[in-house]
Amino acid sequence: MANRHSLDEKQPFIKTEPAPDEIPVPAAAVPSRPAAPRVPRWARILLKVALVTWFAVSVRTWARANVDVVLEAHEAQWLAGAFSDSFAGHHARPRKILFGKKAEQKFLTVPNAPSAIAASRQYATKPHMAGTSGDYDTAVDFLKLLQTELGAAAPSALPVYSAGTPESRNATLGITKLKTPTAWIDTYYPVMNTPLDHSLEILDEDGKAVWTAALEEVADDTDPEAGKYYDAVTTWHGLSRGGSAQGKLVYANYGTKEDFDKLVAKGVDLNGTIVIARYGGNFRGLKVKGAQEHGAVACLIYSDPRDDGTVTAENGYAAYPHGPARNPNSVQRGSTQFLSIYPGDPTTPGYPSYENSTRTNGTNIPSIPSLPLSWANAQKLLAEIKDGGLNRTISLVNNVDDKVIPIWNTMGVIPGHIKDEIVVVGNHRDAWVMGASDPSSGTSSIHEVIRGLGELLRNGWTPLRTIVIASWDAEEYGLIGSTEWGEDFADFIDDHVVAYFNLDSSVSGSRFRALATPSLAHFVRGIAEEIEHPTKPGKTLWDATKDSGVLTGDHIDAEVLAAYQASEVEAAADGTGVGLLGSGSDFTVFVQRTGVASNNIGFQSTLQDPVYHYHSVFDSERWMETYGDPGFGRHVAIAKHLGLQTIRLADSIVLPINTTHHALELEHYLNKVESIAATSALDVDFAGLRSAIHALQKASAKLDTEKTKAEKKLRKLLRRLAVRHLVRRNIRRALCRIRKLLGKECAHHPGAAAVAGATPVQKEKAFECSAMAKGGKNGLLSFQPRVGRAAAWATEQRAGEEGAHGHGHGHGKKHSFPMKRFRKAAQRVRAVNQKLKAFERGFIHEEGIKDREWYRNLDIAPGKWLGYGATTFPALTEAFTIEKNATMAQYETKRLQNLIEKLAEEIKI
């Protein structure tokens, strides 16, 4: 019996019957426990709500604390998906993708002085005038740089395409379809000229030469490259008229319109004379234009040390290469094209110069010959016309070879997610001789920008917008490479280019200077305030706008100082400190023909800086490394600024174009015109124009509100998406732990990090115990555990995500994340960006400006007699200052009013 009871204790769940002779044990009554007080139903509900709320708040608080980390990793992909036609294809990557501030910080680690110096030595130690073999070599060098750094394909045959051919056309027109970086060279065929022979003599009464100028620059091996190449490119003017002339000299100061007007007012007859003028004040071609329009037969232009400020021999400074002062034998080459009439190939105004293009007789080039002179030669000539001078006849010869000469634009593309919005970054590559400052300092800086962008690409970065990098050719002859490309692809630029960033010389002195269309002024300045000063710790690049050289002296020309101080006052008139774009560099076709928001940056020379030998053989690598930018800190600072501009604008959700600042500036422009009108006898009504400007200001203010709201909405949805991602990710991790406890492997979700590309959900395998695995069931059925609602919720989310993003098309399922709202928010931003892009276009008038119709921007253009400098409301202003015609002034007022009214309507929300 004891054994039996022992067995029963060990098997309590086996039912046994009592033996027949045993008396059953009576069941003992179990005393009942007092019932616990029942919790009211409302309290139970309240407790559950509190627990759920606590859990939800805890999860949300935790998610918000980590959302920035998620956005840093995946914002780029989500934005790419939102702005693309379809989310399909934007699969998540297994690592973080550089974007925003992280991309900018990564970029800033790349540009450095040793690399910039190496690039400068590559380009600036040999001549490469446009159209020469040296120029072609630099085009190929730049192509290889793009291929290497951007990862662009390098076919066995160089991708050099003749402009106008299907290959060339498709290369640019196909940019919006590219998926990988690419690079190529476009060849254009402008008419330019090269020097043959030239001379300059003083003749006696019998016509015999009593003095012959040594026109070439003189250099020795103190400057190795200058000593080697001093006569590689003769001293002459590009696009100058070939021929000879004789006449008496007339001094015209700077050769500005005002200078010629003063001569006429004094009764000086310029017919048959040879005008001699000094560089400065306006574009050199307009000096020749002024001379020819007043009857002169030739023009000489020289470099005057008076314009060198304090850095002169008079103040004890030695001449270069032995010191920082001007070498008296230096000569400024340059184009004498009439830049303010139209730039580009003189024979194809308004259309591209293909090899077989129809040519016209250029109307933007001189009809009289000209020559550039050194100070050494100019002194001899000026002595002829001083009081007591002999004033003998001057004989000039300038023979040139006018012909079609091929030039080469090197182009590179980094495709972005938004294919139809493009940022163009450009720098010209050709130089008159070696051009260590102009343009190779710019080429060196953009070399560093390309290296930085390449580093980002190698680390997984893709810009939101497409970036085009251009190395323009033949800028020195008259902005030819950029102009021909701009005329060739005018519609493409109008449709797609949202901004153009230009770099000419990045360093020629100590003062940072920025020029921009007013809508980009704050953007340019803001970035300069973020970059460290290249030579002064604790200061910023923007602080360098107040820098000056340290080479002081007691003697300085009063006229030069007054003009310099006046320019300083004018620069300070704009509250941003950013000047206006006129012409003189490759931004011209973008600003003046199409209306693209643009800017140009660089360090410029002051009156206390080492003398910059502009367009001379002494613009050399030795001068740059010794005097221009020892250590190349300024080159690097410009590279960082240009690179940040490019990355920030390419990756910005809303384009950083400030239409309101520009709209407010218009009123200042009108005030200036009214001041001019007040000093004239012309009666013009500006009320309608002022009213239109006010309407534009109001429309722009509303656009500001809309762009703020549009970006805020999209960012809010991005953060919601990030929170959602965090919650889903941690639920998956929790499920993974549970599966591991049950001896199962975790499913891999390679696409779980992104909105798009979710991994298809696999059907979960039924749970089996070990006995079932061995084939024994013991009456038990297989089952699937339900681990709360989380597993089903995660599955539904993944399935719904697939349907939302092109994986199964959704089958009508409702998604927890509002994808429609996400897309709608992105489209709202796109609509704002289109209005921002259209703003600068709104100042373009198809009829252009009187007598120079190529220029179509009625807001800002180069002054008719300035060339470089900007004139605001140019057609209207010149109706007063040049035409002095009330009817024309009223017509231009109405024309401008109509444009601004139309623009206000276009940007209206």
Per residue in 185-239, pLDDT (tens digit) is: 999 999 999 999 999 999 999 999 999 999 999 999 999 999 999 999 999 999 9
Higher pLDDT, 736 or 374: 374
**Predicted confidence band at 811 (pLDDT cuts at 50, 70, 90)?**
very low
Q: Concatenate the DSSP letters of all residues of 674-724 into one string.
A: HHHHHTSS-----HHHHHHHHHHHHHHHHHHHHHHHHHHHHHHHHHHHHHH
For the stretch 700-745, pLDDT in tens is 999 999 999 999 999 999 988 888 877 787 778 778 888 777 788 8
Residue keyed to tokens 């007043």: 294
Position 31 scores a pLDDT of 58
Task: Give the closest residue to 366 by CA, choosing from 421, 298, 308.
Answer: 298
More confident residue, 512 or 21: 512
Structure confidence by residue, pLDDT tens digits, 94-134: 456 788 899 999 999 999 999 999 999 999 999 999 999 99
What pLDDT does 52 receive? 79
DSSP 350-363: TS---TT------S
Judged on CB neighbours under 10 Å (0-12, 13-18, 19+), 759 is: middle
User: Does the CA dihedral 324-329-335-336 come out positive or negative?
Assistant: positive
More confident residue, 563 or 643: 643
**314 is an active site residue:** no
Q: What is the pLDDT of residues 823-860, one digit of tens each?
A: 899 999 999 999 999 999 999 999 999 999 999 999 99
Please give the pLDDT value at position 21.
Answer: 60
Q: Which one from 75, 475, 801, 840 is the annotated catalytic residue?
A: 475
Is the pLDDT at 753 greater than 60? The verdict is: no
Q: Where are the alpha helices (DSSP H) in 760-855?
A: 770-773, 790-804, 819-841
- pLDDT(71) > 90: no
Q: Is 384 helix (H, G, I), strand (E, B) or coil?
A: helix
The mean predicted confidence, pLDDT, of the chain is: 88
Q: How far apart are CA 250 and CA 271, in angstroms?
A: 10
